[in-house]
Structure 1
């Protein structure tokens, strides 16, 4: 009887983490039909869309089994001070349930079906202990770029410099004593200023930066690191992290859900209205502004954007969300968006623009009317934009997005800069600053546009037979089969 293999996967309960993990499971089971996958789902009441997504994928992915873990009580306020601390402790509380779920799978093993590995994401490193207890090989599935992985792997070494060089400022963020101070991260060609480091790193009065160190150290205990990137995009960073230690690295991207939320999101009518509007626009004429599933801007910043859009005069599709109300809350929808914009803006731009709330981002990026993308530079968004050959203007907001923006603009020449160092609480991006960026994005920078089109072709070549990522997936499959 032919031997078959089961892999188990678990990730942080966020859509931006779950979608690429599910697509990776789909890639693996499609690549070798001897593989099946079980994805363990942690439940957060603030993430109802996860349930809609899982229901949709259950119906369309026969080789993937979704198992909901029992609910756990959230960490108490005295146990954590940062969002990362909260989510890390929340995940850790699931260890007994994860152990029980994998034990159940192993109890149904036979000589023909074996559990070949547990895949965790960047903040689920507490599950490495569970894998070790059960004798199951554990792998990291890293849905961010290899360049950011380089920071995580060297973070403990970097901590001494950060402690010595950063001092408290008038904001929550610590800043460098000397503005010219540069931080050398092995996965970047160029040094970075402190302003480009992740928000979590700069909040020294919170515990998030401590958790970065804990997670980064644990990465080295895995049997391999699978990265959602491809060699042609991040050659330098991939070579750097490959040299970092003995843990094998598998760049297997871009791993994308190109169908997007069109098949599962409840706002079907909103999606249809947006796509109908785009159908009426000329090719490559629309600039798309979207700040991700977790991104939002406050009223004064929205009004600056409105003035900048009017001044630039380009056709636009603009997604606006209300700021979240709590630590783990998501942005919401404005009941009346006109109340937060400049007087008469919607009337004056009715012929060339559409302002909306939530949007099906990947579907929009694939539309022929889109000519440019003002993006928060989340890695899923970057990969989607490159896949469709849409140039980006960088406006990072949180997490590692400042580093991603730096990578795109300064290291790779694949984007134009609005800001590299913007984050929540920064000084406003003024209307004229946005207008300049939009003109560079839509009217000029032929060199960037050419490079993006070239990278589009390389991203698609990487995943087909004999492409770099295709070969990397093959190496991973061989490694998993060798485990059992």
Structure 2
């Protein structure tokens, strides 16, 4: 983690030089502020050199933002042993969550002193910002956002989401046209999509459990299957060249009429398809926002980062997803310690419920409408963006 921070901060001199050149050019515009990603808060020091404020873009959710800031308060102001707490089997009340949060869904990064130091540094820098721009919307995270707005120790928060990249819906010729064509032949809301993000892959034992669970569920499916080896160019798992080497014998033949096993998938295009009725997800925040935008309920299978807390929020806080697992974690450094296997029975139950739970499905459809209303004229996020622009303008003399 320290190396990562040093790598980001090593770019400060380049940013400083670019901004200095920009403002000295004839007819140049005035710099109103820096907008930096939550992992680049070291750039706050550069903004200070130019005497302009920093705005932090927080691409995750308000609940997790509140968690980071609260953990820093517990550590710095109350001398709480966060590493010990994170490795315990208990619950804790966090202001940005309505329900007590199990420590088992804390991100793995806070379970070690080095990882905790990374989180604490990030939280302290967040407090130096003029404001924090969050990829969420009021109707989804009402409690979390209000808890942040009421805390006068935290910079103002602008919920401006959902911010989504929907361009891939119209993409053709990506190598997955046959999947879309197959979906075109399926009944509405009849297919479950399994997609675990850019880093989502499992060993052969787990792959076989997924296959058995899918087959037993009886539901039609599209499954993005990645191999555990890392592509040296992308740093992410590569597509599985021959799925037969890891799938149960005869699985592809038995499921030929009801399922598709493939590599990388255009996730947005699939979630937008009327045939898709459920989504087994790693619970990256962007993926969850996409699923809500298209009204597709999720079954949670978090893997790393803050995904366990995202899963907890969607299942327990809001009832907008069903659980396969809430506390699954993958150790990318030492995969030998990754011994937890999600059983075929758990997967079967999760798939059945995400496809058949009408209460969850109704709530997701309702949130779909609210997510779309938030970003149009008169919506809460639309108004929040307007307030943010006014904030920028106040910095220009």
Q: TM-score, normalised by structure 2?
A: 0.92
Counterpart of 2:59 (choices 120, 143, 163) is 143
2:129 and 2:298 map into 1 onto residues whose CA distance is 34
2:203 and 2:81 map into 1 onto residues whose CA distance is 30
C-alpha RMSD of matched pairs (Å): 1.9
Q: Is the 8 A contact 2:193 2:223 kept in 1?
A: yes
**What is the CA distance between 1:155 and its match in structure 2?**
2.2
Counterpart of 2:264 (choices 354, 358, 375) is 358
Corresponding residue number in structure 2 for 1:88:
5
Counterpart of 1:332 (choices 225, 238, 252) is 238
2:375 and 2:174 map into 1 onto residues whose CA distance is 33
Q: Is the 8 A contact 1:262 1:271 kept in 2?
A: no
Q: Is the 8 A contact 1:262 1:268 kept in 2?
A: no
Counterpart of 1:373 in 2: which secondary structure? strand
Corresponding residue number in structure 1 for 2:196:
291
2:134 is the alignment partner of 1:227: yes
CA deviation map 1:209-229 (0-9, x unaligned)? 211000111001111110000
2:305 and 2:83 map into 1 onto residues whose CA distance is 22
Corresponding residue number in structure 2 for 1:100:
17
Corresponding residue number in structure 2 for 1:439:
352
**What is the CA distance between 1:115 and its match in structure 2?**
2.0
Q: Is the 8 A contact 1:109 1:115 kept in 2?
A: no
Q: Is the 8 A contact 1:252 1:470 kept in 2?
A: yes
1:352 and 1:152 map into 2 onto residues whose CA distance is 43
CA deviation map 1:15-35 (0-9, x unaligned)? xxxxxxxxxxxxxxxxxxxxx
1:262 and 1:271 map into 2 onto residues whose CA distance is 12
Corresponding residue number in structure 2 for 1:66:
none
Corresponding residue number in structure 2 for 1:161:
80
Q: 1:350 to 1:101 in 2, by over 3 A?
A: same
2:167 and 2:84 map into 1 onto residues whose CA distance is 46
2:108 and 2:20 map into 1 onto residues whose CA distance is 38
**What is the CA distance between 1:277 and its match in structure 2?**
1.6
Moved more, 229-238 or 88-97: 88-97
CA deviation map 1:72-125 (0-9, x unaligned)? xxxxxxxxxxxx4333221111111111112222223637x3222211111101
Counterpart of 2:287 (choices 375, 381, 403) is 381
Moved more, 379-388 or 149-158: 149-158
Counterpart of 2:328 (choices 418, 422, 441) is 422
2:213 and 2:20 map into 1 onto residues whose CA distance is 57
CA deviation map 1:273-306 (0-9, x unaligned)? 2211211211110000001112222211111000
2:396 is the alignment partner of 1:396: no
Counterpart of 2:102 (choices 185, 190, 193) is 193
1:127 and 1:476 map into 2 onto residues whose CA distance is 20
User: What are the ranges of 5 or more consecutive residues in structure 2 without an aligned counterpart?
Assistant: 331-337
2:108 and 2:3 map into 1 onto residues whose CA distance is 16
Corresponding residue number in structure 1 for 2:150:
243
2:298 and 2:164 map into 1 onto residues whose CA distance is 18
CA deviation map 1:303-325 (0-9, x unaligned)? 10000011011100000112254
2:80 and 2:203 map into 1 onto residues whose CA distance is 34
Moved more, 325-334 or 185-194: 325-334
Q: 1:85 to 1:331 in 2, by over 3 A?
A: farther
Counterpart of 2:185 (choices 261, 265, 280) is 280
2:377 and 2:320 map into 1 onto residues whose CA distance is 26
User: What are the ranges of 5 or more consecutive residues in structure 1 without an aligned counterpart?
Assistant: 1-83, 167-173
2:93 is the alignment partner of 1:184: yes
1:319 and 1:365 map into 2 onto residues whose CA distance is 13
Q: TM-score, normalised by structure 1?
A: 0.76
Corresponding residue number in structure 2 for 1:216:
123
Q: 1:101 to 1:324 in 2, by over 3 A?
A: farther
2:187 and 2:215 map into 1 onto residues whose CA distance is 19
**What is the CA distance between 1:261 and its match in structure 2?**
7.9
2:100 and 2:120 map into 1 onto residues whose CA distance is 20
Q: 1:436 to 1:471 in 2, by over 3 A?
A: same
Q: Is the 8 A contact 1:197 1:403 kept in 2?
A: yes
Corresponding residue number in structure 1 for 2:46:
130
2:228 is the alignment partner of 1:323: yes
